[in-house]
Amino acid sequence: MAPLTVHEITAKSVINRVVGMPFAWSINPYRGCRHACVYCYARPTHEYLGLNGAEEFQEVIFAKINAPEIVRLELRRRSWRHESVAIGTATDPYQPAEVRYKITRGIIEAFRDCRNPLTITTKSPFVLRDLDLLSDLAQHADVTIHMTVTTLDEKLWRELEPTTAKPWKRIKTLKALHQRGIRTGVFLSPILPGLTDDVPHMEAVVAACAEAGVDFAWGGTLRLGPGVKDYYEDFLQRKHPELTDRYLRLYPGSYAPASYQDRVQKQLSSLTERYGVMQERVSERPPSQTVVQLPLFSAIA
């Protein structure tokens, strides 16, 4: 992977209205994501910036350096109703650039000071850096941390999510958050045909969830929308060519057949019931797959 380039930008607005999802508002402190997950639904968003959704999506990152100040102003508007806001619905708010920029921490500080509920979706144990702020906020408002765990198989994990933290570190992070009274959940998403959709793969994750004491687990099958499909199919041809014909049959469009999705959901429900982990129905498609409204350059000063 090429060296990381980060462009510092300023945003006119940061809290974005989301339509047709179980959350009404979202924040993405960064555009693009260094994690380089082969299945990432957000890859096409870079095309709005004149970049590609392949290498440039993970090598050219945009950091909204004034986001904490803008969020603080938006949360203090008289019209704001203190609704919950989902942070990290498109790209990870704790990706490597956060170590330097601390934008996500600044945003959480604003939420703590305004006592506004939030949820965070991440793949990074770096969220523990902000445990002090999250614990303070949880005293006054609802706080939930979603950790995406696609597989516990380390060989497969490295193929799918090249620069993310090891899956067991994510589980360990959830356990630490749970012990501090933070509500936690796991997204087994996306569930990948022929790779992670078998019972042993899903059971390993669900069993780890139970051991960590997470509040819920949820999973959804892979979506291959425009701008993602070509990148993912190239990955299959390089790493798992034996699966290419199966994917051609399963994905004539963006979604696998309902019969396949139903079968996977029944298997997952059986596992969560067996291990005593609540299966929360977050949405028809989890954050790792859903399409949310994102600000384009017109919203950037």
| Tally of domains within the chain | 1
Round the average pLDDT of the chain to a whole number and report it.
91
Within-domain flag for 250: yes
For residue 1, tell me if it sits in a domain.
no
Question: What does the pLDDT read at residue 299?
Answer: 29
Q: Residue 13 is part of which domain span?
A: 7-299
Q: What is the mean pLDDT of residues 63-85?
A: 97
What pLDDT, on the 0 to 100 scale, is given for residue 284? 38
pLDDT over threshold 80, residue 301: no
pLDDT at 285: 39
pLDDT reported for residue 21: 74
Residue-wise pLDDT for 276-288, tens only, equals 998 765 443 333 3
| Position 202 in a domain | yes
Does residue 249 fall inside a structural domain?
yes
Does residue 267 belong to any structural domain of this protein? Answer: yes
Residue 2 within any structural domain of the chain: no
pLDDT of 290 higher than 70: no
The 85-87 sheet, strands edge to edge: 16-17, 25-27, 85-87, 118-122, 143-148, 183-191, 216-221
List b or e across 96-126, with b for residues whose CB sees 16 or more CB atoms inside 10 angstroms: bbbeebbbbbbbbbbbbebebbbbbbbbbbb
Flag whether pLDDT at 224 surpasses 60.
Answer: yes
The predicted pLDDT at position 281 comes to 55
Give the C-alpha distances (Å, rounded to integers) separating 218 from 105, 125, 202, 281.
26, 19, 11, 7
Residue 30, domain member (yes or no): yes
- Closest residue by Cα to residue 89 from 287, 281, 223, 225: 287
pLDDT on residue 154: 96
CATH number where 105 lies: 3.20.20.70
Interval 18-56: pLDDT, tens: 887 778 999 999 999 999 999 999 999 998 888 999 999
Q: Cβ distance 227 to 52 under 8 Å?
A: no
- In-domain check, residue 96: yes
**Peptide bond preceding 190: is omega within 30 degrees of 0, i.e. cis?**
yes
* Neighbouring residues of 252: CB distance < 8 A, sequence distance ≥ 6: none
